[in-house]
Structure 1
């Protein structure tokens, strides 16, 4: 095909290259299958941690690592610098490294003496780079030239890259870069969430429809390019077929080609995927995105047809292998000629197999096993309490969030308190509507769908007054935004608002803690939110809407389920506190990610209040009593929120207390200041540039929360490494370093294993998503992270970009995972799931949960168990 071929000629070529039924090819199915390589991306205001490889778990971690390296040059094993830093800090047991090496060698069949293979591999495990002078040495190139005719036992790589990227790699024009630039522009315009003053025309016709109508007038394209698109198909599906045909993509390669394009801008493509899953009206959005992208690609590369074929000479592959033996195998280059062809092939084969990915894999597994052994030692060496303890006054249920673990430990030290852990939505699949808000939002993990709606309400007279005050504040904010975006009023706005905004800027910059507190008190004083109640009783709604409230049976079911999941069905204390968690920060696009890593930015306080209120209902207690769950009459449930940025407990719902409950409440209040102080002191010591300051920890925490220039108000869930499912006695008084998700579970109350299965499928999956989100943002920050917070641009109300023409950045910022520009804070370890239960419980779980079995077998998470005798067992792929 040459550069002057016409569309009819291209259609003829399609008929010749593709099978007879190619015109009936369902591209929608292929696009859906191709979407496995990306993950849905939520808007940043409802940030939810996501596993970027959720659609690839049917392959091993190593296979995906090789595929990404080959396709996009993305590394997903930790870099050598990260590994060496962990080694220097004693986080990797080098005996385990040797075990890993021997295990790998045992699986190989190489015609070399074992001692020589071991010597070479141990040297290569140093992870130092091959000297550049070796790679260009003429002697090595001459040897490679002689050996290039020999057969080398290698696996041929079958990567699929876009034609625009191949053209760019071969020294052509920056077509791939230009294509990305065009797509970013159109995506920003179409997906804009009311941030732009002028919206994209024809948005109601969909992404492809709007683009199709406007692209003939796009000044960024040449006249010839616009002319070629003028008569392009009206439907996205036909346009995509036309473009693939014009690019001569064989039918057998179409899915691979679509995958390559989705991987080019995984952020924008992920947002399109998420939108396509939210409503039937936009279900075709992903194929529209591909139609626009590949149509533009054809237009941009058409002048360069026919494209040159990519050729890789065998000798170019051999040079680094020979250099590796010279550097690590202590084999001088002149000695190659003295080896037989069989000996040469054996050495080249070993060097090819023991590549950098294998070496990093062995290091990572040793690092992960070292952490597992350390956690096992901490748990198993714990001292058993023998002294008489004071009767429990209060019991607290926290979210499994890793930030709860240090706070729980300080709380348990402060008095006769017990703590429990469960998923922070407390088993309530609800959508919530706060007082005065015309919107509702789900308050549960994004992997679930809400089943009921709960509203906040107050007496009619008080509500109307509050609503008027709230609308006044919202109107002021809306007017300011409108004036700022309007062409004429934006010229006047600085004159009007300049003095006030200048004072605000100075105050927030120099006295952020006092300013933030003053603004918050002013807003609260102005709004004067009245006391509210919750719509817990079921009311009829339209069939298309979620029911409001719960039936009596549902109330009892949700309370029963929550109490069983938290392991609290007897021995109730006088006061039981359900604790949600949230965060507080200023001028932070990632605020939602600190509120909750799983629930789309919804803090757990509202759910905690709903559950506590349900637990106090006499009718619910009567139903539970008939089932053996006896809640004493003087036991009262309350709700609070753990503010993770401040390590404070804010009370949300405290009903009338019994005498014993009041005693417990007073005791909590008297100790909470010390608990907060100690928790803040330990937490702030982990933040860079703060551990040497002699400031009051509480004041410093408040400053971090209110300072609008602060890029790291807290570490969030950085450092997470394990998910422990077991009794609190297992980990109580253990310093787990804020790295462990803690979920209560007692196998003796779970005869059929259903509770364990629910924990692993729900909170376990969410924990894995969080873990891999942090992992990916650490090992490949340029691709899966979001770069430096200081240079980010909030875009279209959706997310952040670096500059004005980057991908929509899907991961965490540099400051959420890095201690400094050179030193990581988050250790990139795949999640370790530890289950306290007999071996047969875990075997049954794996037999009934193929998804979990697949994750463990393919290396996406690790599994360990603690049996009733206290024996710790690591489950390897071979065991499963």
Structure 2
């Protein structure tokens, strides 16, 4: 008995070990599969998102081919986008010829050179094959009689979900039905603000709650619910169980999981983001896949057993022969006289020179044209060297492309020097407004805050303000609760109807006046007092962010910010730290118009913090001892650059010295003229703009305050380059609001640390913004979010089209398209230009493997400008 007991215990222990190992293996497999999607932040914290961030260790072309095979998603610009750009003169065809020559030189086919070139030049016109040719009986007969080798290859072919290959009796794909079910469960679990009733058993996690409730789901038949009875309690074990039931080969499991993640990349991306926010939800993506594939099994069970089918990239022989007849100028008779070996060679050539390759050549020519013209502009423009001693004011702006026109016009109006720097000013802070316990990270989402800065006021003023604010919050909360309650929602329209009707009419017919009235009414009621900032360190619990900075940290952050700006000497009497903000009404994507990196946080708070630090006598004293001497009469102030109306709004102006006051008055005097010229330039780019408008500022304000406006501004559309160098490099250039501009002086960066930090931080953010716009333009149905006017805000998280679509992850149609058929954004991969000696750039590439991968694999392009003005391309 004793021996039997020991043996039984050993067997049980082995089972436990195997279970733990299987769970770890499955969780690891899910983690590896997650590379095909990207985290999706809630839309209220919108931040630019590179949808391919996990795939940058692979060539862009390889990912493009894989996505085409896996989801039929094109990530090269369409033929229409390319041909429109060509008609506008944005593509130099000489670069197309160069790209074709490179491709021909890199591929070897036993076909005469002139024949290959004739075929390729014709195919590069991007016209479609005639339908009458493709349906020709003679052509079909030729294809049927072809006995050569298969031009496609099944090696490493992606694995499709089985449900994507089957239809029910009504002709509806099972994957579509599966998506509908999964969307329903995701909305129930992830809802944070809209549902009146929360999901039962939610505390058990996504899989646990689903497992408890699935037996009562009226959307499934009795047999389907029965097939999920007694399902494993743990998500990882359920996932292991269901892939076994579906007979997915072990070596194909990860590919199968990837296929399911790509089916709904928005909802899966939200699960991925949530899994990284809390230790309690680390396995949320595993739970998501367990739910999804378990439900797939329930839908598939009547059709089982089925062997998994691979989507092989097999070219249509008919299409390949048709391409030679149409583009190769061959006749059917000429094709018929060719030997089987010759036919196979010709078909292989046409197969390799596919649509993706053709559009790749055009995209690279488009990008090279932009690069070439930018280099000519910079090289040919005679630059003036600023005399910093005569500079009246220095203004530091966010690197955002919308800052470039404003900076350019401001510099024309006086002795002003503008500086480009990351708009959070290197302050790793979360911010809390007066009277709020909630803090918002005010830095790029790729970083974590290390301090919390709060607004403060006199105790008596704070108490009164909080009471008034609480009244507004209580009214809003009561309205929401009544709206969501079954019984009170019947009474609510009678109570709120008159006021809301009046508000609707006013906002519709006099939007500017109505919005201004409502804003002033709220401001008058709240009467927010003058506030200070909690700059000084306050002891907190270890689990909370420390409030304020220590004396040493104040100096460190001030020094770091000034060094990143390149502002360590020759200070002007007035230094303006300009945050960035936008303004729009009734816009789910309002946060997307603010900082593209900081989750919808404006930069004003950070600007105020930095200006306050740099004005502290003790900070200046410590900076002086390290070589940064700030004159006594230099004063730092803070402002916000509102990109929707192109105004500077002062948010922190301490007592000014005489020289600083003169500079301040001068800026105030020229600001109306600057705003006028920038608005004239910006509004002219908007569709349906009336060029004869007399008051451009009023029109800009109307766009910002009209709740029917779907496009108050273009945001960062048409961004194309990130230029790292001294302002003199581009000061006389009209960059058309397409360039991120970051100040950099290589002579003050002997170690290369500053350049490395720019690339790792602002450079990464700029690339994410660039690829967000790129993806939303080239694949709007998959990576965009459709028409703003038909979007539905769901679960307080994001938007859908209708009530059961994927959670849309990209930008709306109105952010990238000029009209229904013409794009405004030019989908070019980001060009990074560094003003520094070649050895600096080489050191950067050698020391940063991730950056090197991005360049070599075609996710960004890199050029440099040497001290003698020589332009070098590194890709």
* TM range, smaller chain: over 0.9
Check if 1:102 corresponds to 2:120.
Answer: no
* CA apart distance, 1:582: 0.6
**Contact 1:154–1:352 under 8 Å retained in 2:** no
Check if 1:854 corresponds to 2:850.
Answer: no
Structure 1 partner of 2:727: 728
Structure 1 partner of 2:368: 369
Residue 366 of structure 2 aligns to a residue whose secondary structure is helix
Q: Deviations over 1:714-742 (max 9, x none)?
A: 00000100000000000002110000000
* CA apart distance, 1:342: 2.9
Check if 1:770 corresponds to 2:769.
Answer: yes
Structure 1 partner of 2:10: none
**Contact 2:168–2:174 under 8 Å retained in 1:** no
1:252-331 aligned within 5 A: 252-307=251-306, 317-331=316-330
Structure 2 partner of 1:658: 657
Residue 412 of structure 2 aligns to a residue whose secondary structure is helix
Residue 166 of structure 2 aligns to a residue whose secondary structure is helix
Residue 638 of structure 1 aligns to a residue whose secondary structure is strand
Distance 2:117 2:753 in 1: 47
Q: Deviations over 1:749-786 (max 9, x none)?
A: 00010110000000000000000000000000000000
Structure 1 partner of 2:11: none
1:523-562 aligned within 5 A: 523-562=522-561
Change (3 A) 1:102 1:316: closer
Distance 1:446 1:659 in 2: 40
1:507-656 aligned within 5 A: 507-656=506-655
Structure 2 partner of 1:112: 111
**Contact 1:537–1:551 under 8 Å retained in 2:** yes
* CA apart distance, 1:341: 2.7
1:806-821 aligned within 5 A: 806-821=805-820
Structure 2 partner of 1:12: none
Residue 446 of structure 1 aligns to a residue whose secondary structure is coil
**Contact 1:148–1:315 under 8 Å retained in 2:** no
Residue 276 of structure 2 aligns to a residue whose secondary structure is helix
Structure 2 partner of 1:751: 750
* CA apart distance, 1:294: 0.5
* CA apart distance, 1:846: 0.3
* CA apart distance, 1:151: 5.2
Q: Deviations over 1:52-87 (max 9, x none)?
A: 000000110000000000000000000000000000
Residue 187 of structure 1 aligns to a residue whose secondary structure is helix
Structure 1 partner of 2:688: 689
Structure 1 partner of 2:394: 395
Distance 1:571 1:314 in 2: 63
Structure 2 partner of 1:6: none
Structure 1 partner of 2:14: none
* CA apart distance, 1:708: 0.6
Distance 1:81 1:717 in 2: 22
* CA apart distance, 1:501: 0.8
Q: Deviations over 1:815-859 (max 9, x none)?
A: 000001000000000000000000000000000001111000000
Distance 2:383 2:206 in 1: 63
Change (3 A) 1:346 1:724: same
* CA apart distance, 1:152: 4.1
* CA apart distance, 1:154: 5.5
Structure 1 partner of 2:671: 672
Distance 1:560 1:316 in 2: 60
Distance 2:560 2:389 in 1: 29
Distance 1:123 1:205 in 2: 61
Residue 580 of structure 2 aligns to a residue whose secondary structure is strand
Distance 1:768 1:149 in 2: 45
* CA apart distance, 1:311: 8.9
Q: Deviations over 1:208-236 (max 9, x none)?
A: 11111111000000011112212111111
Change (3 A) 1:77 1:198: same
Distance 1:24 1:788 in 2: 42
Structure 1 partner of 2:212: 213
Change (3 A) 1:386 1:611: closer
Task: Give the root-mean-square deviation of aligned CA atoms.
Answer: 1.8
**Contact 1:93–1:367 under 8 Å retained in 2:** yes
TM-score, normalised on structure 1?
Answer: 0.95
Change (3 A) 1:874 1:433: same
* CA apart distance, 1:317: 2.3
Distance 2:144 2:228 in 1: 48
More displaced, 511-520 or 757-766? Answer: 511-520
Structure 2 partner of 1:475: 474
Distance 1:311 1:407 in 2: 54
* CA apart distance, 1:168: 3.7
Distance 2:549 2:774 in 1: 39
Structure 2 partner of 1:500: 499
Distance 1:561 1:308 in 2: 60
Change (3 A) 1:390 1:744: closer
Distance 1:200 1:66 in 2: 40
What number of residue pairs does the alignment pair up?
A: 858
**Contact 2:457–2:529 under 8 Å retained in 1:** yes
Change (3 A) 1:695 1:298: farther
Structure 1 partner of 2:418: 419
* CA apart distance, 1:386: 8.2
Structure 1 partner of 2:8: none
Structure 2 partner of 1:8: none
Distance 1:862 1:397 in 2: 27
**Contact 1:581–1:603 under 8 Å retained in 2:** yes
More displaced, 273-282 or 343-352? Answer: 343-352
Structure 1 partner of 2:50: 51
**Contact 2:402–2:737 under 8 Å retained in 1:** yes
Unmatched 5+ stretches in structure 2: 1-17
Check if 1:203 corresponds to 2:226.
Answer: no
Q: Deviations over 1:470-529 (max 9, x none)?
A: 001111111111111111111111111111111110110011111111111111111010
* CA apart distance, 1:315: 9.4
Change (3 A) 1:302 1:683: same
Residue 825 of structure 1 aligns to a residue whose secondary structure is coil
**Contact 1:574–1:635 under 8 Å retained in 2:** yes
Residue 100 of structure 2 aligns to a residue whose secondary structure is helix
Q: Deviations over 1:152-206 (max 9, x none)?
A: 4857560210000022499964210110000000000100012111110111110
Structure 2 partner of 1:69: 68
Change (3 A) 1:266 1:91: same
Distance 1:715 1:311 in 2: 42
* CA apart distance, 1:388: 8.8
Q: Deviations over 1:429-477 (max 9, x none)?
A: 0011110112011000000011111111101100000000100111111
Structure 2 partner of 1:11: none
Structure 1 partner of 2:183: 184
Distance 1:655 1:147 in 2: 83
Change (3 A) 1:80 1:339: same
**Contact 1:390–1:416 under 8 Å retained in 2:** no
Structure 2 partner of 1:837: 836
Structure 2 partner of 1:380: 379
Change (3 A) 1:727 1:316: closer
Distance 1:216 1:727 in 2: 65
Change (3 A) 1:779 1:133: same
